[in-house]
Structure formats: structure tokens, C-alpha cells
């Protein structure tokens, strides 16, 4: 993916965003008018006005069940940006809103998340299809009303996040956090169809549930030719012949419960009614459109084919709900040289789902497949765990396992062997990171392919690793670390909930695997690489409290989502520390002046303020902490506030009795100011400022 700057084509981005909102607003009104009596409210959440401070973020989770019809989002914020003002706002201070299906968005990972929004000229909102594999981020509007239907997004978990500034410096530790805050309030509701057999954006499309039955196929013929000892799940449209007129569409649905090898959709006994003179139906197009998790159409689908020509084969279909639509075309064309009076085409729909026996997968169901057991870490945060295979081949209680005893020991047709590992990411754990690591005593002889919901292959994967130069490094949510010829180490960031499959392709090697020792480790962790040892890993819940996520709070010199980006060099940090600590020597000037004037109380305040500020800054930059950071920060701010007021009190001409009373009151008030949000703009005076009054 090409890297784009966030301010590149900003004008086009904002205009496109407004086009999106206006399209969806108008489209939403028609839905409410036509489908008001066919829907009911599944869930409705109102998020009260919430303030987002500089460099802060908020996540919101929305659950979309298979029978949902639409999701409505109404957002109101205090942001007031137009095209000209957006161009002037730096990236680190720009309010952003990001959308992602299945897991939390993370805009700091890659600039590609700020790609230009495609302008929409119709209400189909085909641009949402990119949400299935990535995230989309836009500047926060002042008012936003958006309605998405089950023909536009899949029935799964939907997340959106609000950020006050993005980029590497968002996670960097700062002595004083300054910048504008903004607030937002949101209403989110999910509508569903009253009848499960009626779906679509208007809940007026009949969806027929296919009847499925398990059958054993050992004959080696039919659609499963060449496969032995497999289970074939056959599904039909209630064994009833369906008939369609020209350009009519019928929709079917089925749910795939287990990882399957392929799904075949075919039409049997295709015929015309009434029969034409020639009785030939070969010229008719019986189009099939298949889509995972959402209603398919001729313009928005995952797979398509003409069933009157050949069956539609979907390799490694994902686990979950699938929708199949059949569309009849060309019924009124000339047949046999005369205009045909054909009114309908009839067919019998059949679906076959191939499932391998337990422990088997891949071509001919001969590859090894292992279900990984979740082992929770002791004294860890929620969902932190590692995964180990079931079976007698794994005897260790460690967090890793030896790979060679588990590998498939054959090569089918001269191809490299595959071994599959299946694991489950539980609900609410989408804010975790999946860590996969392979370590060998010699050069790695494996390629790694990872996929959510189905079996990966050379042409069908979400993430892959071949070597340190050929991998998914350009993907938003793929982070590669200390990999070499003997080691593969990468993270899948903010991993989606559900079933994941890790496939290892064992390349042909002359030395075989008998003498090789490779250790594999699969774990669900909080922060990648422990924040690169340059920060602390924090945990939080999204606004709904349904998802736990983690993030890094980096030190003063590093930033990025994993604290791996050096913002200030070591040499620059040293000079910065020296200048910051030495600058407190300026307190000598007002202290010397107060001593000459025999203003001993003021002399104590100025001297103490300079010393406490030096100790506070020394601790803040990581040099040395005489006391805890909170105590040092309190003394620095309190004495600074006290020094300012004491200076003005000293310069007044009132009596000493009143001055002592004022000093007492000021000491109490400034201590309260220092202990309560001392860095806000109303009281956020510069710590060095009071020392420069003289």
C-alpha cells in the first residue's frame, strides 16, 4: 500500500465525507418510511457528552447480529473545522474518527489509514466494503448522521474510535499536556427484521434457509472427486423446484459451523416453463452471487458465477453466515430464430460443503490439523494467554512447543506439505495482539499464512510471512520484529474475534526435518514487544464496557503504538535534560535580590522553588528521582504558584499583618491549585515564569 500524508488531498477528503453523510441521511429516511413496520429495535445506546483531551482516545463497540437490518449513528461534537482550518491543523492535533469491522481501529500504525475517501454518487455505499480488510479514518465532523444496512456491512462486531490527534507523538510521555480538547455525544441504534425469513435493508426480501444433511462420500465421484474419508454436507432448497422470471432474484442462506475445504453451489434440472419449441435452456444466464455475512447483489458480492454454465466453487469458505442469491437473465431473448414465450426458468439448488475428518485438512484431507488449546497466564490481565495443541505429541507445560513432531509427513503430487493450527479469539478480546514466533536451530524452512475464519492458502490469506523481506509488512495490522533466517517473529495487532487458522508450508528440503528442531509459540498478548521496553502497557475498556484493549504509554524519547519510534535521540535527550535542569538556576537571581532586600520569606520561597523544580525535571527526564514523581510535581507547581503571588504581595504597601494573612490564604489556595489539575490552561503557568520576575 502506498503511504499517504494525512493532509494530502484534504479538500477532496472533506467534500467526500460530506457527500457520504448526505447520501446516507437521505437513504436512511427512505428506509424508515418503507420498513418501519417490518423492523424492531435490537439495541439502542446513548453515550453522554464526553470530553477527549489532547492525545486521548475513545472506542465504541456495536454488535450486529445476523438478523439486523440497519445501524444508525448520530454523532455531535464540539469540533468546528472547515476545509481551510483543517489544512492548518497539524496531524498530532487533528480530531479523527476511524471505523473498522471486527476489531478496534489503530490509526497510528500506518499512514495508509488516511487514504482519500472515494466520493459516492449513489446510496449503495459500496465504499464500505474496504472496512472488511482495513480501517477508514476521517476528520471529526461537527454533526454526523449515518445509517448502514445489512447490504452494506457484514453482520459482525463494528467498532469506531475517536482520537484527539494521531501519529507517533500521541503515545509519547509529555511533561505538560497542552492543546485543545473536544467533546462528543452519540446515539447508536441497531434495527432488526421482525421475521427471520425476511431480510434486506427494507426487511422485504424473502430469504430461504437451506436444508442441510450430512452424507458420507467415499466413491470418489461427483464434486468431491478424488477425496476420500471426507464428510459431505449437502444443502438444498427444501427439495422444492424454484422458478424465476426474467431479472428476478431469490436469496438463500446457510451457516457454516466448522472449518471447511470448499463450498460448491450448483443448479440441477435447469428447465424452462412453459417449455419452448427447442426446449433449450443453455442460453439462459442463471447468475449466482455469494457473500459472507451480508446480503449479496449484482454489484456487491464476494463470489459470482453462471450456474447454468458450471458450478460455483468457493475454496476455504469462512465460518459463519453465508448468503446466496440467484438471478435469472436473458429469458426473453430469441431462441431457435423466433421470439420465445418463456416466462420462467426453474431449477433445483444444491450446495455441497466438504469437511475433512477430525485432525485432517488440506488437499485430499491428508494434512495434519490441530486445535490449539487456550492456556490462561497466571496473574495476568484479561484474555492474556498462550496456545498449545491438543494431543499426546505435546508434553511440555511451557508456552511453546516443538514443531517437527506435528508436521504432515507426506508430499501430495510433488507439492509442499501443509500443517494447520486452529485457535479461537474470544469475544471482547479484540483489543489484544496475536503473537506468532518460530525459532529454529538452522535456517527456517517454513512459510506462514494466517487467515481469519477459514483455511489459508497461497492465494487466500490475511497475513503471511515467507522471510524478512517477503511478508505482510505493508499491512496496517501486521508488525514484524526481530526476524532472521533462523527466526520469524511478528504480531497481528488488535486481532479480530473468532476463529483463526495458522498454516505452515513446509518447503521441500534435501536435509529433511528429522534433524531439525523448530520451536513455535502462539500467544495473545497485551502490548506488542512489551512496548519495546520504552514505556508502560496500560489497559482500558471501550465506552460500552464490552471490550478490553491495551495501549502503550511511552517515555519522553519514544512514541508510536509500540514505543519503537525514537522521537528524541539519545544525544538530544542528554542536552535537553541538561538544559532543562540547568535552567532552574535562574531562581538564583530573584533569591539573591530577595536576600539583599532582607525579604527572607520570599528568599526561602524562590530558593525552594528553584531546587524543587530542578529535582522534578531531573526525575521527569529519567535522570534521578529524589522522591516520588507525584510529590516532586506537586512541590514544583505549588512553589511556582506561591512565588508569583508572594512577589505581588511583597510589592504592595499594606501592613505586615495583612501580608501574613494573605500569605496564609495564598498558601492554602495554591496548594489546592497544584494538587488539582495544575496543568490546565487556567492555572498552567510556566514553572520557570515566577523566577524571571526580577
- The pair phi, psi for residue 645, each rounded to 5°, is -70, -40
Q: Is 142 exposed, middle or buried (0-12, 13-18, 19+ CB in 10 A)?
A: middle
pTM (two decimals):
0.78
The stretch 166-186 carries a mean pLDDT of 86
Last residue within a domain, chosen from 288, 320, 355: 355
pLDDT tens per residue across span 582-593: 777 777 788 788
The confidence score (pLDDT) of residue 394 equals 59
Confidence category of residue 13, pLDDT binned at 50, 70, 90: very low
The confidence score (pLDDT) of residue 337 equals 43
Confidence category of residue 334, pLDDT binned at 50, 70, 90: very low
The confidence score (pLDDT) of residue 504 equals 94
Cα distance between residue 17 and residue 20, in whole Å: 5
On the question of pLDDT at 679 being above 80, the answer is: no
The confidence score (pLDDT) of residue 342 equals 58
We report the CATH number of the domain holding residue 514 as 2.60.120.380
Q: 134 vs 150, which has greater pLDDT?
A: 150
On the question of pLDDT at 164 being above 80, the answer is: yes
Asked if residue 560 is part of any domain, the answer here is no
Residues 179 and 257 in one domain: no
Percentage of residues in the chain with pLDDT exceeding 90? 28
DSSP letter at 123? T
3 state SS of 437: strand
The stretch 29-55 carries a mean pLDDT of 75
Percentage of residues in the chain with pLDDT exceeding 70? 79
On the question of pLDDT at 238 being above 70, the answer is: no
pLDDT tens per residue across span 396-453: 667 889 888 888 875 544 457 899 999 999 888 889 999 999 999 888 889 999 999 9
On the question of pLDDT at 1 being above 50, the answer is: no
Ramachandran assignment for 125, one of left (phi > 0), alpha (psi -120 to 50 degrees), beta (any other): left
pLDDT tens per residue across span 391-404: 656 556 678 898 88
We report the CATH number of the domain holding residue 78 as 2.60.120.680
The stretch 377-381 carries a mean pLDDT of 75
Asked if residue 609 is part of any domain, the answer here is yes
Weakest-pLDDT range from 388-397, 432-441, 528-537, 681-690: 681-690
Residues 587 and 629 in one domain: yes
Residues 171 and 297 in one domain: no
Asked if residue 540 is part of any domain, the answer here is no
On the question of pLDDT at 502 being above 90, the answer is: yes
Confidence category of residue 242, pLDDT binned at 50, 70, 90: confident
The stretch 258-274 carries a mean pLDDT of 86
Weakest-pLDDT range from 165-179, 212-226, 283-297, 641-655: 212-226
On the question of pLDDT at 32 being above 60, the answer is: no
On the question of pLDDT at 688 being above 60, the answer is: no
The confidence score (pLDDT) of residue 110 equals 52
Q: Which three cell numbers stand for residue 188?
A: 447508536
Q: 403 vs 641, which has greater pLDDT?
A: 403
Cα distance between residue 62 and residue 158, in whole Å: 5
The stretch 517-546 carries a mean pLDDT of 91
Asked if residue 430 is part of any domain, the answer here is yes
Residues 53 and 191 in one domain: yes
| Average pLDDT in the chain | 78
The confidence score (pLDDT) of residue 243 equals 87
Residues 374 and 300 in one domain: no
Asked if residue 537 is part of any domain, the answer here is no
For 137, 256, 285, 426, the CA distances from 326, given in Å and listed in that order, are 35, 19, 10, 35
Asked if residue 535 is part of any domain, the answer here is no
3 state SS of 664: helix
The confidence score (pLDDT) of residue 410 equals 58
Residues 503 and 427 in one domain: yes
Asked if residue 693 is part of any domain, the answer here is no
Nearest of 313, 318, 303, 308 to residue 285 by alpha carbon: 308
Residues 62 and 138 in one domain: yes
The stretch 367-375 carries a mean pLDDT of 91
On the question of pLDDT at 221 being above 90, the answer is: no
pLDDT tens per residue across span 95-148: 999 988 889 998 876 544 443 333 222 333 333 344 545 678 888 989 989 888
On the question of pLDDT at 157 being above 50, the answer is: yes
Residue 385 belongs to domain spanning: 360-526
DSSP letter at 693? -
Q: 228 vs 170, which has greater pLDDT?
A: 170
Number of structural domains found in the chain: 4
Residues 370 and 351 in one domain: no
Cα 356 to the chain's mean position, in Å?
31
The confidence score (pLDDT) of residue 216 equals 54
On the question of pLDDT at 370 being above 90, the answer is: yes
Residues 397 and 514 in one domain: yes
Q: Which three cell numbers stand for residue 635?
A: 512541590
Confidence category of residue 494, pLDDT binned at 50, 70, 90: very high
Nearest of 603, 659, 608, 604 to residue 637 by alpha carbon: 608
Cα distance between residue 26 and residue 12, in whole Å: 21
Asked if residue 213 is part of any domain, the answer here is no
Residues 465 and 484 in one domain: yes
Residues 351 and 377 in one domain: no
Residues 574 and 672 in one domain: yes
Amino acid at each position: 500500500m502506498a503511504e499517504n500524508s494525512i493532509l494530502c488531498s484534504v479538500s477532496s477528503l472533506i467534500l467526500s465525507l460530506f457527500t457520504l453523510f448526505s447520501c446516507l441521511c437521505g437513504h436512511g429516511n427512505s428506509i424508515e418510511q418503507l420498513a418501519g413496520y417490518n423492523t424492531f429495535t435490537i439495541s439502542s445506546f446513548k453515550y453522554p457528552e464526553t470530553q477527549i483531551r489532547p492525545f486521548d482516545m475513545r472506542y465504541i463497540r456495536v454488535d450486529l447480529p445476523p438478523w439486523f437490518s440497519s445501524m444508525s449513528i448520530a454523532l455531535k461534537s464540539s469540533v468546528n473545522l472547515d476545509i481551510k482550518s483543517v489544512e492548518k491543523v497539524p496531524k498530532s492535533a487533528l480530531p479523527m474518527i476511524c471505523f473498522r469491522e471486527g476489531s478496534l481501529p489503530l490509526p497510528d500504525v500506518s499512514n495508509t489509514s488516511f487514504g482519500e475517501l472515494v466520493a459516492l454518487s449513489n446510496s449503495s455505499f459500496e465504499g464500505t466494503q474496504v472496512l472488511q480488510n482495513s480501517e477508514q479514518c476521517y476528520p471529526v465532523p461537527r454533526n454526523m448522521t449515518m445509517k448502514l444496512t445489512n447490504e452494506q456491512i457484514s453482520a459482525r462486531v463494528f467498532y469506531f474510535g475517536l482520537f484527539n490527534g494521531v501519529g507517533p507523538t500521541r503515545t509519547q510521555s509529555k511533561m505538560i499536556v497542552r492543546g485543545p480538547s473536544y467533546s462528543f455525544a452519540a446515539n447508536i441504534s441497531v434495527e432488526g427484521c421482525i421475521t427471520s425469513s425476511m431480510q434486506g435493508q427494507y426487511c422485504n426480501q424473502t430469504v430461504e434457509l437451506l436444508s442441510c444433511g450430512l452424507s458420507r462420500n467415499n466413491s470418489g465421484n461427483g464434486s468431491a472427486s478424488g477425496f476420500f474419508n471426507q464428510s459431505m454436507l449437502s444443502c438444498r432448497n427444501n427439495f422444492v423446484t424454484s422458478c424465476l422470471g426474467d431479472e428476478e432474484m431469490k436469496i438463500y442462506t446457510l451457516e457454516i459451523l466448522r472449518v471447511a475445504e470448499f463450498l460448491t453451489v450448483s443448479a440441477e434440472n435447469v428447465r424452462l416453463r412453459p417449455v419452448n419449441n427447442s426446449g433449450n435452456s443453455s442460453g439462459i444466464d442463471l447468475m449466482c452471487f455469494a457473500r459472507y455475512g451480508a446480503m449479496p447483489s449484482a454489484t456487491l458480492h464476494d463470489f459470482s458465477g453462471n450456474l447454468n454454465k458450471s458450478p460455483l466453487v468457493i475454496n476455504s469458505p469462512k465460518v459463519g453466515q453465508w448468503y446466496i442469491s440467484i438471478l435469472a437473465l436473458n429469458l426473453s431473448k430469441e431462441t431457435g430464430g423466433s421470439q420465445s414465450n418463456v416466462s420462467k426458468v426453474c431449477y433445483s439448488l444444491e450446495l455441497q460443503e466438504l469437511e475433512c475428518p477430525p485432525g485432517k485438512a488440506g488437499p485430499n484431507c491428508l494434512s495434519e490439523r490441530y486445535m490449539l488449546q487456550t492456556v490462561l497466564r497466571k496473574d495476568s490481565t484479561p484474555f492474556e494467554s498462550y496456545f498449545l495443541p491438543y494431543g499426546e505429541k505435546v508434553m511440555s507445560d511451557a508456552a511453546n512447543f516443538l514443531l517437527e513432531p506435528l508436521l504432515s509427513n507426506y508430499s501430495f503430487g510433488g507439492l509442499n506439505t501443509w500443517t494447520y493450527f486452529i485457535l479461537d479469539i474470544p469475544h471482547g478480546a479484540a483489543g489484544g495482539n496475536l503473537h506468532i514466533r518460530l525459532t529454529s536451530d538452522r535456517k527456517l524452512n517454513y512459510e506462514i499464512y494466517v487467515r481469519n475464519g477459514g483455511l489459508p492458502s497461497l492465494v487466500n490469506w490475511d497475513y503471511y510471512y515467507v522471510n524478512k523481506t517477503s511478508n505482510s509488512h505493508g499491512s496496517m495490522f501486521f508488525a514484524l520484529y526481530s526476524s532472521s533466517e533462523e527466526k520469524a517473529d511478528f504480531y497481528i495487532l488488535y486481532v479480530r474475534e473468532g476463529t483463526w487458522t495458522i498454516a505452515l508450508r513446509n518447503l521441500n528440503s534435501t536435509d529433511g526435518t528429522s534433524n531439525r528442531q523448530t520451536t513455535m509459540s502462539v500467544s495473545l498478548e497485551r502490548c506488542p514487544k512489551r512496548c519495546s521496553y520504552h514505556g508502560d502497557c496500560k489497559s482500558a475498556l471501550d465506552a460500552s464496557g464490552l471490550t478490553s484493549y491495551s495501549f502503550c504509554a511511552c517515555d519522553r524519547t519514544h512514541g508510536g503504538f509500540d514505543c519503537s519510534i525514537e522521537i528524541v535521540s539519545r544525544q538530544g535527550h542528554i542536552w535537553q535534560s541538561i538544559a532543562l535542569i540547568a535552567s532552574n538556576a535562574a531562581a538564583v537571581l530573584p533569591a539573591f535580590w530577595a536576600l539583599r532586600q532582607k525579604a527572607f520569606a520570599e528568599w526561602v520561597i524562590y530558593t525552594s522553588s528553584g531546587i524543587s523544580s530542578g529535582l522534578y525535571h531531573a526525575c521527569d527526564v529519567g535522570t534521578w528521582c529524589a522522591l516520588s514523581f507525584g510529590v516532586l510535581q506537586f512541590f514544583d507547581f505549588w512553589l511556582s504558584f506561591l512565588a508569583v503571588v508572594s512577589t505581588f504581595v511583597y510589592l504592595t504597601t499594606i501592613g505586615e499583618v495583612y501580608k501574613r494573612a494573605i500569605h496564609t490564604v495564598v498558601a492554602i489556595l495554591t496548594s489546592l491549585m497544584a494538587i488539582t489539575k495544575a496543568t490546565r490552561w487556567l492555572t498552567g503557568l510556566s514553572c520557570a515564569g515566577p523566577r524571571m520576575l526580577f
